[in-house]
Amino acid sequence: MNRNLKDLESLINFNFKNQDLLKQSLIHKSYDYENNNERLEFLGDRVLGLIISKKLIDIYPNEKEGIIDKKFANLVNKKSCFKIAKKLNLRKFMLLGTSIRNLERSEDKILSDCLEAIIGAIYRDSGLKPAEKVVIHLWKDFLDKSIVLLIDSKTRLQEYSLKNFKVLPKYTFYKKTGPQHRPTFKTDVQIPNSKKIMGTGLSKKDAQQNAASKLLQILKIS
């Protein structure tokens, strides 16, 4: 086990003012049943949820709650946290009891909980904004993939329409509303045998992507 915590701070791109918080975030209950990272993990889970929720709302200002909720679940689940924790090699920084050091089947939960504890520790140390910076940095690849999935909606609808009807989807610009500095665009899309479906966005392109995404959902095309 390598306990050079400066290396970990470098990996997460954050320097603690209170090193004790970082140290506590790395203590599993098998090592110290009384003084461990469980409370920080509890806090970090909530902080992570808030940060990812806010980021998704910013990325998808006009997307339906159900779609955002699915993306949220994929971003904050134990599987995603475990992948990030593995990438950071958190296990080498943790304090684990002898009874659990070789328990591979528990590794995903132990490491993902530790990552959330670190987020909780950052929040306790410096507040929400620094915690947000760290989370966005660590979750960048996952957030980028989330955006790509939405952007690809127009392409997927085009492929479906060409394959089944030999025609392109028809997009019709509907109108522009809202203030000049932050307008909202509305666009209809339609393919043969479908109703016109309206999408909204901060640009015509975004509105088309949103409309295509909605029509794909109606057609039950993943």
Active site residue 113: no
Residue range 152-219, CATH number: 3.30.160.20
pLDDT for 146-187, tens place per residue?
A: 776 665 788 889 999 999 999 999 999 878 888 777 788 899
Active site residue 65: no
Q: Does the pLDDT of residue 2 top 50, yes or no? A: no
pLDDT for 87-103, tens place per residue?
A: 999 999 999 988 776 66
Give the chain as a 3 state SS string.
CCCCHHHHHHHHCCCCCCHHHHHHHCECCCCCCCCCCHHHHHHHHHHHHHHHHHHHHHHCCCCCHHHHHHHHHHHHCHHHHHHHHHHHCHHHHCECCCCCCCCHHHHHHHHHHHHHHHHHHHHHHHCHHHHHHHHHHHCHHHHHHHHHHHHCHHHHHHHHHHHHHCCCCEEEEEEEECCCCCCEEEEEEECCCCCCEEEEECCHHHHHHHHHHHHHHHHCCC
- Delimit the domains of the chain by residue range: 5-149, 152-219
Q: Does the pLDDT of residue 52 top 60, yes or no? A: yes
Say what the pTM is. 0.68
> 106 versus 5: which is more confidently predicted?
5
Q: Could you give the percent of the chain with pLDDT greater than 70? A: 94
Q: Which fold is adopted by the domain 5-149?
A: Ribonuclease iii, N-terminal Endonuclease Domain; Chain A (1.10.1520)
Question: Catalytic: which of 63, 113, 116, 125?
Answer: 116
pLDDT at 1: 44
Question: Catalytic: which of 45, 113, 132, 206?
Answer: 45
pLDDT at 209: 87
Mean pLDDT of the chain: 89
